[in-house]
Amino acid sequence: MEEEPLLEERLNDVFIDSKLSQQKIDYARKHLDRLKDHHFPTYEHSVRVGLYGYKYGLKDSYEPGLLLLAGLTHDTGKSKLSKEVLNRAPGEFDEKCKIEMRKHPRYSHMLLEREKELAEISLRHHIYQHENSYPEVQPSTDKILKYAMAVESIDFHDANKTRVPNGKYPGNGSITDEERMNLAIKLMPKIEEVIKEFYKLVIFS
C-alpha cells in the first residue's frame, strides 16, 4: 500500500493543477479528514479514486475537477458505518453487515447535500453491478449518470487492486490489470465502454 505522505503530496499537486476554488478544495478536505479519522484505509481509497478520476478526466470528455471531487467524496458516507463493518472483507459479509454497508451511498448523498452534483453522483456509484446494485434510485440526468459510471469503474479497480483476495473476489497481486478489467466488465456489463476507456486511458497508458 502507498505511503500516506506520497498520496498527500500527489493530492496537493493535483489540487493546484485542477484550479478548483479554495472553497471546493476545503470542502473535499473536510470530508477526507472525517474519513481519515474514522477509517484510514477508506480515506486512502478515496484519495486514490479521486486521483485516478482526475487523470481520466484530463484524457476524456469529463470536467477533471468534478471527477476528482466525485472520487474523493464518493464514500464519505462510510464515516457513518461502524469500523467493524468497514474492516470486513466482502467475502465475510453476513446479512446484517451487507445491509449496513449498502447504506453508505445514501449517507454520502446526505453528507454532500450542499454540493448537489457530488451528492447525486455518490448516491449512484454502486448502481451498475448487475447482481449487486444498490440503492434503488430515481432516474437522473445524463451528466450525473456519466460521472457515476466513471466513479464506479474506478472504484472497482482500486478496491479490487488493493484488497486482500477472499472467497468472493481475487485481489491484490493475484490477478493482472487486464484480468481485473475483464472481471469488472463481467460484473458491470452495462458500463463496459466506460470501463474499457478508463483502463485504456489511465491504467494501460
- We find the least distance from the C-beta atom of residue 204 to Fe ion, in angstroms, to be 22
Of 19 and 111, which has the nearer Cβ to Fe ion? 111
Of 44 and 75, which has the nearer Cβ to Fe ion? 75
DSSP state of 78: G
- We find the least distance from the C-beta atom of residue 19 to Fe ion, in angstroms, to be 25
193 phi, psi to nearest 5 deg: -65, -40
Binding status of residue 115 toward Fe ion by CB under 5 A: no
Binding status of residue 75 toward Fe ion by CB under 5 A: yes
- We find the least distance from the C-beta atom of residue 108 to Fe ion, in angstroms, to be 8
- We find the least distance from the C-beta atom of residue 152 to Fe ion, in angstroms, to be 9
Characterize 27-45 residue by residue with b for buried, 16 or more Cβ atoms within 10 angstroms of its Cβ, and e for exposed.
Answer: bbeebbebbbebbeebbbb
Of 21 and 92, which has the nearer Cβ to Fe ion? 92
Of 23 and 29, which has the nearer Cβ to Fe ion? 29
Site for Fe ion in 134-173 (CB under 5 A): 155
Q: By three-state DSSP, how is residue 154 classified?
A: helix
Q: What is the spatial distance between Cα 159 and Cα 23, in angstroms, rounded to a whole number?
A: 29
- We find the least distance from the C-beta atom of residue 179 to Fe ion, in angstroms, to be 20
165: CB partners within 8 A, 6+ apart: 171, 172, 173, 174
Residue nearest to Fe ion (CB): 155
Reference 149, options 73, 70, 46, 39; nearest CA is 70
The residues of the shown chain that bind Fe ion, judged by CB under 5 A, are: 75, 155
